[in-house]
Each structure stands twice: as structure tokens, then as C-alpha cells.
């Protein structure tokens, strides 16, 4: 998979792509990530990328030209162009699975107070990562990229995302490791019983219980 990210702040991504699982996935060529500062595509003599809004109002609006030219330079036959915006489709695990099947993704990070509405015409999808407002799409695109990359074949141990929270609309069951007793808190007996059928049933029931308590909305899906 190839992920191209359009941003005015490529330096924000350094830590995310040079650490942990993302770093390894890139090194092992499971994914290729490129950052593009669309300011470099601006035809304005001062490399301007924004202007005042028609009709008046506060703030600056990202202009079409640099983003259109940057997307057109990168776009291939099977490219999915995604805009990160607080008014986009709420991002969910199901979308991560769909996007993990794509060959090439372009993520466009909006910034400042907004972007020219016509930028939406070159996008296949608009995503929001939640009901709160960020200063820009950068953090959102990191969230989307991270959640996709971990699903790519060979990035994390096969099967280890089978039990992720949100698969089957259930939250994860509780897990424990050594020691068996820590500050008088004991690991549930069933987990050391060796009875795999019982363990499976216990985990399912715990998932269900936690989901009912914390996210009853998931069970209605």
C-alpha cells in the first residue's frame, strides 16, 4: 500500500512514522508513506495557500489550486482521495478494514479556519475522527494511517487483531499477565484452568458485560 499525505506541516508526522509498528511496517515495505507540502505546488509568487473568504468572515481559507495540482500529480488509476474534516463521515473500524484493502490512498489535511468547498469535488471520501475540533487534519490523518497500517498483512501478528475492541461491535475482554497475584489482586481462576472452551466463554461474557456497561450503543448495531 502507498499512502500520500498532503499537509502544510510535514514535520508533525516525524515521530509517528519513525516509531514502533509504523516504523517497522515502513522498513519492511508493507507500506510506503510520503509527505507532501502542498505549499510547494502553489503557483502564487509568495507560495500562498490561503485567502480571505468570499462573503466575509473570520480567518483564512485554503485555496483550490495547490491542493488540486498536488492531488493531480499524485493520483493514479486506483487512488482513493480522502479529506480529513470535522464534518466528514465518522471514522470507524469498519472503514479501516475497507481502506486496508486499497492500493493507494491520498490523505488531505485541512488547516486554518477551513478550505474552499470545491476541494470536496476531488475527494472520494471525507472522514472525521470524532465530535471535537482539531486545529487541523494532521492528527486525524495520523490516526487514520495508523489504524490502516496495523491491519495490513504481516504488520502485526496474524490473528492478533481478531479480538480487537469493535470487531463484532464488542469491546475487548480483560487480559492479565504474570504475576498471578499482584497487591492482593488475583487473576481470574478460569484463565489458569487450561480449559480453552471455558476461557472462550468467559472472554465472550466479559466482552458482552463491558460493552453493555460502557457502550450499549454498540450492541444495537
Footprint of ligand 6GU (CB under 6 A): 84-86, 88, 127-130, 132-134, 136-137, 140
DSSP bridge partners of 125? 82
Nearest to 84 by CA among 137, 142, 48: 137
Which helix (H) or strand (E) segment is 74 a member of?
helix 64-74
Catalytic residue among 4, 66, 138, 150: 150
Nearest to 174 by CA among 136, 135, 139, 213: 213
Residue 66 or residue 137: which is nearer to ligand 6GU going by CB?
Answer: 137
Q: Which conformational region is residue 21 in: left (phi greater than 0), alpha (psi within -120 to 50 degrees), or beta?
A: alpha
- Find out whether 166 and 175 touch, Cβ atoms under 8 Å: no
The verdict on whether 150 is a catalytic residue reads yes
Catalytic residue among 53, 164, 174, 215: 164
Catalytic residue among 10, 53, 86, 174: 86
Catalytic residue among 44, 72, 103, 113: 113
Q: Which conformational region is residue 90 in: left (phi greater than 0), alpha (psi within -120 to 50 degrees), or beta?
A: beta
Nearest distance from residue 110's CB to ligand 6GU, in Å? 6
Nearest distance from residue 111's CB to ligand 6GU, in Å? 8
Preceding amide of 179 cis, omega within 30: yes
Q: Count Cα atoms within 13 angstroms, Cβ side, for 70.
A: 28
The verdict on whether 40 is a catalytic residue reads no
The verdict on whether 117 is a catalytic residue reads no
Nearest distance from residue 56's CB to ligand 6GU, in Å? 22
Residue 70 or residue 83: which is nearer to ligand 6GU going by CB?
Answer: 83
The verdict on whether 86 is a catalytic residue reads yes
Nearest distance from residue 141's CB to ligand 6GU, in Å? 7
Residues that are catalytic: 86, 113, 150, 164
Amino acid at each position: 500500500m502507498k499512502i500520500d499525505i498532503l499537509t502544510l506541516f510535514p514535520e508533525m508526522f516525524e515521530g509517528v512514522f519513525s516509531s514502533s509498528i509504523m516504523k517497522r511496517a515502513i522498513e519492511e515495505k508493507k507500506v510506503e508513506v510520503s509527505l507532501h507540502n502542498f505549499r510547494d505546488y502553489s503557483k502564487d509568487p509568495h507560495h500562498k495557500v490561503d485567502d480571505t473568504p468570499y462573503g466575509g468572515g473570520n480567518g483564512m481559507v485554503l485555496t483550490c489550486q495547490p491542493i488540486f495540482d498536488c492531488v493531480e500529480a499524485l493520483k493514479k488509476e486506483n487512488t482513493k482521495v480522502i479529506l480529513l474534516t470535522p464534518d466528514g463521515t465518522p471514522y470507524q473500524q469498519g472503514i479501516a478494514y475497507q481502506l486496508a484493502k486499497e492500493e493507494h490512498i491520498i490523505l488531505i489535511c485541512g488547516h486554518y479556519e477551513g478550505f474552499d468547498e470545491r476541494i470536496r469535488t476531488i475527494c472520494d471520501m471525507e472522514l472525521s475522527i470524532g465530535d471535537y475540533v482539531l486545529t487541523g487534519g494532521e492528527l486525524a490523518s495520523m490516526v487514520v494511517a495508523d489504524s490502516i497500517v496495523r491491519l495490513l498483512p504481516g504488520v502485526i501478528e496474524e490473528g492478533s487483531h481478531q479480538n480487537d475492541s469493535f470487531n463484532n461491535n464488542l469491546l475487548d475482554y480483560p487480559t492479565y499477565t504474570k504475576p498471578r497475584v499482584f497487591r492482593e489482586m488475583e487473576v481470574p481462576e478460569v484463565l489458569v484452568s487450561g480449559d480453552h472452551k471455558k476461557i472462550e466463554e468467559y472472554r465472550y461474557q466479559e466482552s458482552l458485560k463491558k460493552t453493555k456497561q460502557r457502550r450499549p450503543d454498540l450492541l444495537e448495531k
